[in-house]
Structure 1
């Protein structure tokens, strides 16, 4: 069994809760209140900035050319493809880039980004890859699990967002990341990778929960 499949099985109970989280289910049905989606988009834009920095850190410590090239490719994809999609989305939600940049990341968002950046700064390149994997992988699986719900969806903004994560380009990007982990993680301490993967999976669940409850700093 490939390492990524082992990790995926270890996190299955967390991922099943992600797939059925109220935010996800209502988003796919089209019934999610738009103010919750606006909150999510602003927070996720800030998260993507952190993810781009993470892949830049990965590139800086890559120990062979292929890993360096792929790390730079992932950073570029985050900084262009996903960011460009979000800029278009902001306009459709009557939001501006200033709205995003002037909004402080929520506690869960801050903690998740810090987890990834600290792992990429202090850990190995493979540990960095593993810390980012649940984000990409769950977003690829969510549309597959909730595909039937889309039939009820009458919100074109939500459908466009969903289609981004079931596109050929996104699936290829995520598959590339999975294959990189399998290729380079063979001789790494599995238990260490498992802890990182599980923690990132927990943060993925918490991110959806944060958005659904429109989390704010308590003080």
Structure 2
């Protein structure tokens, strides 16, 4: 499909994220290889499912910004604070606007979106992330956030590399290409590097068992976010 490298090539196996991904591979695969993604890649995903996902993803971003604002508070050095702060700015001032522009192409206005309640799957994952951040340190929070930040990059990369993916005539092509872009792939790599830097100060590699539990739960909650869309079509 035009991409020869795989996303896993840029993940150091001995990095904290690499270890988490390897040790919790079942939970991770349930998320990045979910049937919602398979159908999206083939262009067969019901559009009602995708529109519901778009609405909930915007509501998700509101809570996501709050989580990164908490990371600014939890960070222990200025470089990390600045990087987390930049992410808050990117979500509130850029990503949400781009998301609304994308939603307009699907006939959804901001008023349509914010009038909708958060789905249980959205509440479950976002509040879990915030809870891990409140109860733990910055590493606990980052690990809970990683499935979203890094997972989308791997998902899009997988789709672009898969012979099963159909781009011509696929109504979801723009979504796939957005997350497969070099810009987003670089964002994901920066998140992996930042986790490695912050965990070095907090003994992340020595806390791997507890962090694996957080990573697995966050990955499965992300999988539930996909399932939320599919359940509409049943």
TM-score w.r.t. the length of structure 1 is 0.91
Residues 125-144 of structure 1: pairs in structure 2 closer than 5 A: 125-144=138-157
Residues 164-179 of structure 1: pairs in structure 2 closer than 5 A: 164-179=178-193
Q: Which stretch has the larger CA shift, 49-58 or 188-197?
A: 188-197
- Which runs of 5 or more structure 1 residues have no equivalent in the other structure? none
The corresponding residue for 1:181 is 195
Aligned to 1:114, what secondary structure does the other structure show? helix
Q: CA deviation at 1:153?
A: 4.4
The corresponding residue for 2:30 is 17
Q: CA deviation at 1:33?
A: 1.2
The corresponding residue for 2:3 is none
Aligned to 1:150, what secondary structure does the other structure show? coil
Residue 155 of structure 1: which of 170, 175, 181 is its match?
170
Question: RMSD value over aligned CA atoms?
Answer: 1.6
- Which runs of 5 or more structure 2 residues have no equivalent in the other structure? 1-13
- Aligned partners of 2:90, 2:39: CA distance in 1, in Å? 28
1:18-74 Cα distance to aligned partner (Å, 9 max, x none): 333221111111111111110000011111111111000111222110110011011
Aligned to 1:151, what secondary structure does the other structure show? coil
Residues 1-219 of structure 1: pairs in structure 2 closer than 5 A: 1-147=14-160, 148=162, 149-156=164-171, 158-186=172-200, 187-188=203-204, 189-214=207-232
Equivalent pair of 1:54/1:117 in contact (CA under 8 Å): yes
- Aligned partners of 1:12, 1:45: CA distance in 2, in Å? 28
TM-score w.r.t. the length of structure 2 is 0.86
1:72-110 Cα distance to aligned partner (Å, 9 max, x none): 011122223321221111111111111111111111111
- Aligned partners of 2:230, 2:71: CA distance in 1, in Å? 31
* Number of residue-to-residue matches in the alignment: 214
Q: CA deviation at 1:160?
A: 0.9
Equivalent pair of 2:167/2:173 in contact (CA under 8 Å): no
- Aligned partners of 2:99, 2:89: CA distance in 1, in Å? 15
